Copies of this chain bind each other. A is one copy, B any other.
Amino acid sequence: MEPEVAIWREYLKKRGMRKTPEREAIVKEVLSFGEHFDVDSLWLRLKKKSGVSKASIYRTIPLLIDVGLITEVYLENGHMHYEYVYGREHHCHLRCTNCKKTIEFSDDRLTAIEHELGAKHGFVTNGLKVEILGLCPKCNRLK
């Protein structure tokens, strides 16, 4: 079993929460998604198989964030997106403001900056999100 699933089940058990087929299906789907997702795309995938309701997805997502498996991603789309983050240090995006194409990257200098700034202001830091906006080669050519 993936360690993520074990962590998840442990999280539930510790709080007297139940291991239900719906929660299992959601976690499994999130793990297999391997990219950004939103509630609707997750629901569409799940519908084909197990028929989990959107309400359950909305109720499960805060738990997945709390346990550290996913994080919120703010795209310029009017609704929330999420990404799988367990075991990844930070989550940076280079995004085209025109076609929304997104390239993920990471850079050790960012981790250094995170820790430096945290120390300077007395924060215990817990993650770094970076978005670089611009036009991708294709959209730049067209404008």
- Residue A2 interfacial (CB < 8 Å): no
CB-CB under 8 A from A96, the residues of chain B are 123
Report how many copies the assembly holds: 2
Q: How far is the CA of A137 from the CA of B105 in the complex (A)?
A: 30
CB-CB under 8 A from A121, the residues of chain B are 94, 103, 136-137
Q: Mark A65-99, 1 if CB is under 8 A from B, else 0.
A: 00000001010100000000000000000101100
Extra pairs beyond A97-B126, A127-B132 (20, CB < 8 Å): A72-B76, A74-B74, A94-B117, A94-B118, A94-B121, A94-B123, A94-B125, A96-B123, A109-B109, A118-B134, A122-B137, A123-B134, A123-B136, A124-B134, A125-B132, A125-B134, A128-B133, A129-B130, A129-B132, A130-B131
